[in-house]
Amino acid sequence: MNKKKKFFGLLAFIAVFAAAIAIVMLLWNALVPPVIGWAAINYWQAAGLMVLCRLLLGGFGRFGRGHFFGGRDCHGHREIHDLKDKMKDMSREERRDYIRNHIWREHPFGKGFFGGRDMSQPEGKPE
């Protein structure tokens, strides 16, 4: 029975992946050529595009979890719940300031991502 489950699981995965490739191809061909003027793509080019996106961005839904930014799991479920608990008694302004400071310290791209601007101070206000 276990081998049968694995076989049907694999078959279901292949069917979903094939359908996702077809959807990527249809969306690309419906949107990109009329808007940008690039050429339409075939099924295998859409498959290559999906694999490329997987390699660059690290995500096929639940199968790619934890691979974004070179294998670093940005936020697990526990961290999100801890953050919600920490922020539930904060005012709106306190939450905004906390999030800005947290992003400033913890973002994978670091301070350079925000152009060196201090996220704790809104634009236009003196420090």
Other Cβ atoms less than 10 A from the Cβ of 25: the count is 20
Share of the chain above pLDDT 70, in %: 65
Q: Residue 127 pLDDT more than 70?
A: no
Say how far apart CA 105 and CA 93 lie, in whole Å.
Answer: 18
What's the whole-model pTM score? 0.46
Q: Residue 119 pLDDT more than 70?
A: no
Residue 55: the pLDDT is 83
What is the arithmetic mean of pLDDT over 94-111?
71
Q: Regarding predicted confidence, which is higher, 127 or 14? A: 14
Average pLDDT score over the chain = 76
Say how far apart CA 53 and CA 51 lie, in whole Å.
Answer: 5
Question: Are 50 and 21 a contacting pair, CB within 8 Å?
Answer: yes
Residue pLDDT, tens place only, 38-75: 899 999 999 999 888 888 887 655 554 444 444 444 54
